[in-house]
């Protein structure tokens, strides 16, 4: 069983913000499997593909970004999913705008949602797909305001491609591709 998680904030006001890039990735991953988010359980919207050991769960936690780990822990505990079979997709300010980086494990960096997931799962040894959104040049507003701001119109095609790439990486992971092969295929893609 695989769990694919996209991080974001559920309210409409956050829909097209940088902090919802993970939700956008989850939506596109579900679309690749022709799956829909039809269930609300474990404080998340859930789309399911397949059954038994071959089941894939795609989740969008509704706990808001900074408490994402609580929802993920509930799903992992209920289905007894090994953390190596959990893939988390999220926005990353520390990565250049529009770039994808896949890692097998690692720290939370500056990301509070990831910090909470690591705390709740008790490990940082789970794979992740990061979608970079670091702006070109100097930022004129505080980071907290920037992550919750709308994606600029001129950047939307770039993030469409980035979230498409992340979704394809997640789908490959769900189908059994290992992290080193995903790193080779997708890392650094724009």
Q: Which residues are catalytic?
A: 19
**Phi-psi sector, 52: left (phi>0), alpha (psi -120 to 50), beta:** left
Q: How far apart (Å, rounded) are the C-alpha atoms in residues 169 and 187?
A: 10
Distance CA 22, CA 160 (A): 12
| Cβ contacts of 119 within 8 Å, gap of 6 or more | 69
Render the burial of 97-135: b for 16+ CB within 10 Å, e for the rest: bbbbbbbeeeebeebebbbbbbebbeebebbbbbbbbee
CA angle 5, 56, 81 (to 5 degrees): 75
Q: Report the distance separating Cα 8 and Cα 169, nearest Å.
A: 19
Element (H or E) spanning 27, and its range? helix 21-32
């Amino acid at each position: 069983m695989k769990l694919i998680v996209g991080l974001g904030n559920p309210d409409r006001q956050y829909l097209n913000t940088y902090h919802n890039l993970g939700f956008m990735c989850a939506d596109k991953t579900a679309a690749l499997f022709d799956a829909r988010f039809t269930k609300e359980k474990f404080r998340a919207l859930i789309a399911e593909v397949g059954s038994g050991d071959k089941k894939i769960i795609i989740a969008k936690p509704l706990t808001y970004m900074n408490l994402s780990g609580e929802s993920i822990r509930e799903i992992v505990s209920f289905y007894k999913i090994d953390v190596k079979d959990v893939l988390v997709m999220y926005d990353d300010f520390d990565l250049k705008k529009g770039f994808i980086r896949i890692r097998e494990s690692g720290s939370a960096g500056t990301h509070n949602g990831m910090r909470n997931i690591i705390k709740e799962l008790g490990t940082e040894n789970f794979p992740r797909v990061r979608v970079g959104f670091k702006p070109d040049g100097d930022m004129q507003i505080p980071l907290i305001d920037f992550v919750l701001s709308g994606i600029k119109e001129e950047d939307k095609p770039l993030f469409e491609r980035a979230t498409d790439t992340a979704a394809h990486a997640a789908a490959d992971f769900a189908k059994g591709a290992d992290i080193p092969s995903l790193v080779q295929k997708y890392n650094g893609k724009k």
